Structure 1
Amino acid sequence: MRARTVEVDGIPMSALCAEVDEPRAVLVAVHGGAANARYFDLPGHPRASLLRTGAALGFTVLAPDRPGYGASAVAEAEFRPPRRRVDAMYRTVDALLGARSRGAGVFLVGHSAGCDLAVRMAADERGDALLGLELAGTGLVRQERAIQRIAALVREQDRAGIRDLLWQPARVYPPELFGGRPIADRAPGYEADVAVDWPDDFRALAPDIRVPVRVTCAEHESVWRRDAAALDEIRGIFPGAPRFEFNHQADAGHNLSAGHGATAYHLGVLAFAEECAVAAAAAPDEKERGA
């Protein structure tokens, strides 16, 4: 596992990379808000690392800092237009991989505010070539307490209240990771727009996604509603996905990759990516038989 920086249009784009020689596929993991790529490779917790677990199972895993985070924070104003962020991420992945094998293809993993970028990438015309998409820590309808905490953040800049909301219950996280301090990063200015616009953007973008989708709901999700009606609405906005499923992750909070159950969650993500790789390999044979 190594940290790398590549240039895209003269802007440095940083990432953590766990690469294997002949990958089964490539996972691109997109972190959430006010965090960085370390979310997927937590300091001092190698067993909880998506990068290390994925590489051990034959996947190349890339965790770029989202545009405006990490090295690219110096140019955050460049990334206010959503399309600019999508282009930057696709080009960052291309630059990181170069001529190296992508195996069966690229599979996207989005968490929390990072789901905005992952969904936009999958809904883009380039998204049809993806293997699949995993989304976690997101939804369409916020819980009432989340609405109140977000309002307090806007009104009073109560960042501690938001942090407490996102990291409950404390028992599902290692004490040294609670609150996310080891992975905290300053959010770019456009992030406020993402938070406000997301449910409507999610509804508008999802119908354009035509690859398999899995949505993970943590047992103790603190921001998004996960009742039957809310989940039915999410399922209904993906009419073009050839496969859609929910994963209910037990004993997990909003930050699934930072909790005690991170390994279990990551193994599920990798299993879904493997199933997508198998389906992609079978597709040409099915087309040939149909012809």
Structure 2
Amino acid sequence: MTSLGPDLTTAVHREVVDVHGVPASALVAEAARPQAVIVALHGGATTSAYFDHPGHPRLSLLRTAAATGFTVIAIDRPGYGSSARYEERMRKPEQRTDFAFAAVEALLAGLERGVGVFVWAHSAGCELTVRMASDPRGAELLGVELAGMGRIHHPRAVRAMEEWRRDPTRTRPNLRRALWHPPHAYPPDVHGGRTIGSASPSYEGHREGWQEEFAQLAARVPVPVHLTLAEHEQVWANGPEGLADLASMFTGAPRVVRHEQAGAGHNTSVGRTALAYHLSVLSFVEECALGVRALPTEKGKPG
């Protein structure tokens, strides 16, 4: 019988490279003669396994992208994976940005790159991606995907924080329920992230002034940007308004595409609609690899 979907049997292996005396770990899926390379950056409290959930190849970005002609390197972000014991060397944003660029170069040594590198990030991983893309070195990127992030919090998250500020004796709001809402958007053994969970480095708990800095950095991103918010997102303001606000920040990007992933919760790459989400963004990666540019009238409008 002929398969109607991508071949998801591509081997995924773990690599560890040295970055100035600090080990950097990643999951790698290689495509034969790749069109381009995708560097995937996971969110908070997880690892690169977010992009290749154990036991669920259909949800795997690495396997899907490799099947469509892209090599994928899912890096354990600074302070995660093999670099977790070196947190004191990751406290400053510039240290983490330099670490990420150096890790990509080390992991790609000896591998075909196709026409270049595209960075695909989720949630807290979007901070590092925006820093990389707005850095002078980021001008060489093909483009970026930013999923599960925003500037304005979802009304439910805002209410929870306001209630806590009025009564600090209450338990500080736990975003876990919002991050994994609704339960039916995920396979039962995936919901909650127990299999792919990880301790977070302390720097992720200190982001004062990030919203203002984010706006400044976003305006300096010179490459095409794809933005994804889930239909059931409850951490960040979603829907057309949330996407429009986020897109308005990337004033220097030649193309900004907005996408709402139907049926998804915050964790778009491990939900039931992960394959649909991955294929949607991979079409954008393909366009970036081919050098597709939007007409002037398209810039900043829904893709």
**TM-score (normalizing by structure 1):** 0.91
Quick one: which amino acid aligns to residue 136 of structure 1? A
Counterpart of 2:50 in structure 1 is 39
Change (3 A) 1:237 1:20: same
- Give, in angstroms, the shift of residue 227 of structure 1: 4.4
Task: For residue 245 of structure 2, give the secondary structure of its aligned residue in structure 1.
Answer: helix
Which one-letter code corresponds to 1:234 in the other structure?
Answer: L
Moved more, 98-107 or 196-205: 196-205
Matches within 5 A, 1:205-224: 205-224=217-236
CA drift at 1:229: 3.9
> 1:33–1:156: structure 2 CA closer, same or farther, 3 Å change rule?
farther
Instruction: Give the match for residue 226 of structure 1.
Output: 238
CA 104–32 in structure 1, closer or farther in 2 if over 3 Å, else same: same
Structure 2, gaps ≥5 residues long:
1-11, 294-303
Q: Tell me, in whole angstroms, the C-alpha distance in 2 between the residues paired with 1:181 and 1:197.
A: 31
Gaps of 5+ in 1: 282-291
Residue 160 (structure 1) shift: 8.6
- State whether structure 2 residue 181 is matched by structure 1 residue 180: no
For residues 229-275 of structure 1, the C-alpha deviation after alignment (integer angstroms, 9 at most, x for no partner) is: 43332222111111111011100000000100000001111111000
Match of 1:144 among 155, 160, 164: 155
Cα distance change on mapping 1:236 and 1:228 into 2, 3 Å: same
The match for 2:249 among 232, 237, 240 is 237
Match of 2:69 in 1: 58
Q: Per-residue displacement from partner, 1:166-206 (whole Å, max 9, x unpaired)?
A: 00000000010111111100000000124x44322221100
Q: Secondary structure at the match of 2:269?
A: helix
Tell me which residue corresponds to 2:3: none
Task: Give the superposition deviation at 1:163.
Answer: 1.3
Quote the residue 1:199 is aligned against: 211
- CA distance in structure 1 between the partners assigned to 2:132 and 2:140 by the alignment: 11
How large is the Cα RMSD of the aligned pairs?
2.1
The structure with more helix, counted as a fraction of residues:
1
Q: Counterpart amino acid of 1:131?
A: L
Aligned to 2:37: 26
Asked if structure 2 preserves the Cα contact closer than 8 Å seen for 1:153 and 1:162, the reply is no
- 1:260 — aligned with what? 272
Q: Taking every aligned residue pair, what percent have the same amino acid on both sides?
A: 49
Contact 1:31–1:111 (Cα < 8 Å) also in 2: yes
Partner of 1:288: none
Aligned residues: 280
CA contact under 8 A between 1:25 and 1:105: conserved in structure 2? yes
| Cα pair 2:229 2:239 within 8 Å, conserved | no
1:48 aligned onto 2:62? no
Q: Report how far residue 151 of structure 1 moved.
A: 7.4
Structure 2 equivalent of residue 284 of structure 1: none
Letter paired with 2:222: R
